[in-house]
Amino acid sequence: MKGSGPFRFWYRMVVLIFAGSSVALFVRAAELRRSAAFYERAVGAQGRELWDRERRTTLAPKEDRALAQQDSQEGIVTWIQIADTPVNYPVMRGADNQYYLDHLPDGTKNALGSLFLDCRCSADSPHWIIYGHNGIGGKMFGSLRHYVSQDYFAKHPVLTVAVAGEWYACPIFSVRTVEADSDAYTLDFADEDALRDYVEQAAEQSLYPISVSSERAERVLTLSTCTGWGSQRLMIQAVFPVDF
């Protein structure tokens, strides 16, 4: 039949593309199931045992008032929770900011990845940034999208982090969207006044007003994830208590 040659060619191309997409979706679904199973174990007894073992070498003593420096070691540096939300995960730190984008804490390659501390952060950094994917079904930092609602914030106003085996409550002071190259990702500040200026500016840029005094801003903890809109990022920012 006239024209059947080109038709068969494009038909085969469509079938191949569909088959390839189906395989990719199947592989991605399998990865998500594996990651879900891993994190279910991580918050159970096995995960706590791992956490207890790892933290003896990867976390600083409480009196150091900071996370341990890890220039050459990959591992767990802290654990973060937000009460009554899916956020209940170990936080990793690698040699770069790429590895844990697609690796679980046990080193398994997986699209969901891990939460991880910016590799440039050190024990005395005044700003600690934790990155995580905007995961499907609220996985990883997927549930952070709900913070665009002030009502959601009112029910979840505190981030809780573990350092040297003890938990600390960190009040949120800003919920904002920024570009990936924004100076909101500044890690170092000239002095305490510069840090407080940063906190005040972040609070002013918040999607809604939050009453937290910048006088408590001895250190800042930032959770960062994609919004799904180009290079835009969602930041949830909290201050460490002054008695940390």
Condensed to tens digits (0 to 9), the pLDDT of residues 101-113 reads: 999 988 889 988 9
- 135: in domain: yes
Highest mean pLDDT out of 109-123, 172-186, 215-229: 172-186
- 70: in domain: yes
9 pLDDT tier (thresholds 50, 70, 90): low
Q: Which residues pair with 235 in a beta bridge?
A: 176, 224
The per-residue pLDDT for 14 is 56
The per-residue pLDDT for 21 is 44
The per-residue pLDDT for 229 is 87
Spatial neighbors of 115 by CB under 8 A, at least 6 apart, are 80, 89, 90, 91, 92, 100, 130, 131, 132, 140, 141
In whole angstroms, give the CA distance from residue 112 to residue 211.
34
pTM: 0.78
Highest mean pLDDT out of 46-50, 123-127, 191-195: 191-195
In whole angstroms, give the CA distance from residue 186 to residue 190.
11
In whole angstroms, give the CA distance from residue 133 to residue 142.
7
Task: Provide the total of helices (H) and of strands (E) in the chain, helices listed first.
Answer: 4, 8
- Amino acid, res. 103: H
In whole angstroms, give the CA distance from residue 210 to residue 160.
18
6 pLDDT tier (thresholds 50, 70, 90): low
Q: Which residues pair with 142 in a beta bridge?
A: none
In whole angstroms, give the CA distance from residue 141 to residue 146.
10
The per-residue pLDDT for 72 is 35
- 6: in domain: no
In whole angstroms, give the CA distance from residue 23 to residue 7.
24
Kindly tell me the sign of the dihedral angle through the C-alpha atoms of 146, 150, 155, 156: positive
- 201: in domain: yes
- 3: in domain: no
* Residue matched to tokens 């690698």: 94
Highest mean pLDDT out of 6-10, 25-29, 66-70: 6-10
Kindly report the average pLDDT of the chain as a whole number.
78
Domain of 159, CATH number, reads: 2.40.260.10
Least confident of 55-64, 184-193, 200-209: 55-64
Average pLDDT over residues 150-155: 97
- 21: in domain: no
- 113: in domain: yes
**8 Å CB contact between 60 and 66:** yes
111-129 residue pLDDT tens? 889 999 999 998 778 999 9
Q: What's the total number of domains in the chain?
A: 1
Average pLDDT over residues 47-58: 46
- 24: in domain: no
Per the structure, the complete domain to which residue 84 belongs is given by: 39-239
